[in-house]
Structure 1
Amino acid sequence: MSLTSPARDLLDRSHATIPLPAEDAEVLADLRTHAARFFTQDEETKLRHGSSDFNFGYRPYGRQYSVSPERPDMNSSFTYWANDPAKVPGHEADTVAPFLKAMARYWRVAAHAADQVLAGLAAHYGYHDDLQFRTSSYLEINWYLREPERDLLQDRHEDGHLFTLATSDGPGLEIETDGEMKQATVGDGRLLVMPGSVLTAMTAGHIPPLYHQVRNHQLQRRITTLFLVNPRLDRNIAPYATAGGEAVDVAALARTSGSMFGLPPAPVLAPPTV
């Protein structure tokens, strides 16, 4: 099997892009429409659709940071795990159900893109373990409003997953290239593949994490759509490669990586029944 282009680019330059077919771009546009409708509701309504540990559904401003809790990320967010709407509190309510249906449609788009990346990496490394990423990955929608004071809406960080498929409806994302933070040049019809430290561990350091930040362009609003890809979390898995025979508990790394952002351990979920 030949390497897919995204996997080849990850191996060569530590990031990649994936084009979205026109019909998938329409699914993404529909998701952004429903996201805007959800996030412009009052705070009390949105809080009804978030779990107490902030793993599922709505996560209000101030609950997540990139480097320090004294500098929270300047956004609220919504997380949708394992393509299972039932994980979101009040998932059947009219105030969130259309949003969740749009997320489910986009989930299939993002999961297909993730398959392309993982198939290429498996081919390169001769890897045969089943990562079962669909039960351990999630969509995250970040909602930014205009912030006049801060130069960065999110500070420099890496995501702590295998990789993230990222797209935004406005400028701001900067990625580290040759030691400098530069504006990411990714068209709206493409997904940026950003490797995280879990993939670094999986590849014995071959693919470093992509550090990135979000510049404040004083936009009235900004929507970022992320698909954060994890390996299975219920047991340790074999890495793609090892360095000096050293064993790495990749699943444990993926479960606990959110702690550097003030988040709880990642949940170990069974496949959804819907």
Structure 2
Amino acid sequence: MSPTGTTTAELLHEGRCTVPLSRPAAAALDDVYAEAQRFFSQAEDVKLAHGSADFNFGYRPYGRQYSVTPDRPDENASFTYWAGDPATVPQHRAPTVTGFLRALHTYWEVVTETAETVLADLAGHYGRTEPLPFRTSSYLEINWYLPDSERDLLQDRHEDGHLFTLATSDGPGLELEIDGQMCTCNREPGTLLVMPGSVLTAMTDRQIPPLYHQVRNYHLPRRTTVLLLVNPPLDRPVAPYAGDPEGFDAASLARHSGSMFGLPPAPVLDAVDRP
């Protein structure tokens, strides 16, 4: 487990690390799992009413996202909660989604504190005076896996295409690429896995490679993943932590990384970072 001040060292040395899940975060996470079950158990037309036309916000049905090729969609539906703002979700005041959004917002408030700690450690390591603002450009993603899939992999090998992901799940299946081999993730209980993405790789002049991973099918009756996907600001230039800043554009990388999964460009929300 990585105490404060060592996450960057572990990312550089191991390519991944874990951070403690605080008691408030653990309690909020339990509520997210419970409310996710209620939300995703509703009729498809009810859930679709809470998704945007471009599938950036709220509910994203099965078949809209893939890890490698469109003919092998990820075996899950998703829900995205951007920037800690429930108003980004269509019909966010409807009773069919308010409980879920309350749980997501509570978890957002505590898990973004963990992201702030990771970013502060990166800033300190690379001689930055302030950590990157991230809240208006980042989002929670809840993945609800199909219980009846017959595929060996519920998600194919991929990296997330962000700065990093804070990941946890209520069931086994995650496999990480370590020394060229896919290995079962043995994350300690009560922790979040920090998975670097290709934007962080670019920001560190390839010092921290992206963590490739996949999800194996254990034929569980239920599997839910809760992710905080952390981006740099999307509305202005961001200098890299290391390497030549000439022509570097982290915002463009982050905005368009979803195209490799069949997703539209990431939205630019408010210019002022939310607290």
Deviation string 1:97-138 (CA, Å, 9 cap, x unpaired) is 110010000001210110111111100100236622001000
Q: Is the 8 A contact 2:63 2:73 kept in 1?
A: yes
- For 1:62-81, list aligned pairs within 5 A: 62-81=63-82
Measure the CA separation in 2 of the matches of 1:273 and 1:204.
29
Cα distance in 2 for partners of 1:176, 1:130 equals 28
Matched, 1:268 2:268: yes
In 1: Cα distance, 2:227 partner to 2:44 partner:
22
- Measured after TM superposition, the shift of residue 231 of structure 1 is 0.2
Quote the Cα distance in structure 1 between the aligned partners of 2:110 and 2:224: 18
Task: Classify the secondary structure of the residue corresponding to 1:208.
Answer: coil
- 2:20 corresponds to: 19
Who is 1:248 aligned against?
248
Alpha-carbon deviation of 1:19?
A: 1.2
C-alpha displacement at 1:148, in angstroms? 4.1
Residue 83 of structure 2 corresponds to which residue in structure 1?
Answer: 82
User: How far did 1:145 drift?
Assistant: 2.2
State the shift of 1:48 in Å. Answer: 0.3
Matched positions, count: 272
Is 1:168–1:188's contact at 8 Å kept on the other side of the alignment? Answer: no
Q: CA deviation at 1:193?
A: 0.2
Query: Which residue does the alignment assign to 2:187?
Result: 186
Distance 2:128 2:252 in 1: 20
**Partners of 2:135 and 2:274 within 8 A in 1:** no
Gaps spanning 5+ residues in structure 1: where? none
State the alpha-carbon separation in 2 of the partners of residues 220 and 110 from structure 1. 27
- Aligned equivalent of 1:165: 166
In structure 2, distance between residues paired with 1:165 and 1:273:
19
Equivalences for 1:1-274 in 2 at 5 Å?
4-128=5-129, 131-243=132-244, 247-270=247-270
The code of the aligned residue for 2:241 comes to Y
Cα distance in 2 between the residues matched to 1:227 and 1:194? 10
* Partner-residue secondary structure (3-state), 1:78: strand
Q: Tell me, yes or no, if the aligned pair for 1:139 and 1:226 is still in contact at 8 Å.
A: yes
Q: Percent identity?
A: 63
Deviation at 1:8, TM superposition (A): 2.0
CA distance in 1, matches of 2:106, 2:17: 23
| 3-state SS of 2:223 partner | strand
Amino acid of the residue matched to residue 225 of structure 1? V
Equivalent AA in structure 1 for residue 184 of structure 2:
Q
TM-score for both structures, normalised by structure 2 = 0.95
**1:23-73 deviation per Cα after TM superposition (whole angstroms, max 9, x unaligned):** 321111111100110000000100000000000000000000000000000
Q: How far 1:209 sits from its partner (Å)? A: 0.0
Q: CA-to-partner distance for each residue in 1:174-230, whole Å, 9 max, x for gaps?
A: 000111000001134110000000000000000000000000000011000000000
Change (3 A) 1:260 1:148: closer
Q: Secondary structure at the match of 1:221?
A: coil
Deviates more, 1:22-31 or 1:61-70: 22-31
Superposed displacement of residue 7, structure 1: 2.2
Q: Which amino acid aligns with 1:111?
A: T
Q: Is the 8 A contact 2:136 2:274 kept in 1?
A: no
Q: What is the rounded CA distance, in whole Å, between the counterparts of 1:175 and 1:56 in structure 2?
A: 28
Which whole-Å CA distance do the structure 1 matches of 2:133 and 2:149 have between them? 42
Query: 1:10 is matched by which residue type in structure 2?
Result: L
Moved more, 23-32 or 80-89: 23-32
- The one-letter amino acid paired with 2:204 is T
Alpha-carbon separation, structure 1, partners of 2:23 and 2:130: 33
- Is the CA contact 1:58–1:79 (under 8 Å) kept in the aligned structure 2? yes
**Given that residues 84 and 272 in structure 1 are in contact (C-alpha distance below 8 angstroms), is that contact kept between their aligned partners in structure 2?**
no
Q: Any stretches of 5+ residues in structure 2 without a counterpart?
A: none
State the 1:17 CA deviation: 0.3
Aligned partner letter, 2:249: D
Structure 1 stretch displaced more, 24-33 or 80-89:
24-33
**Counterpart code for 2:248:** V
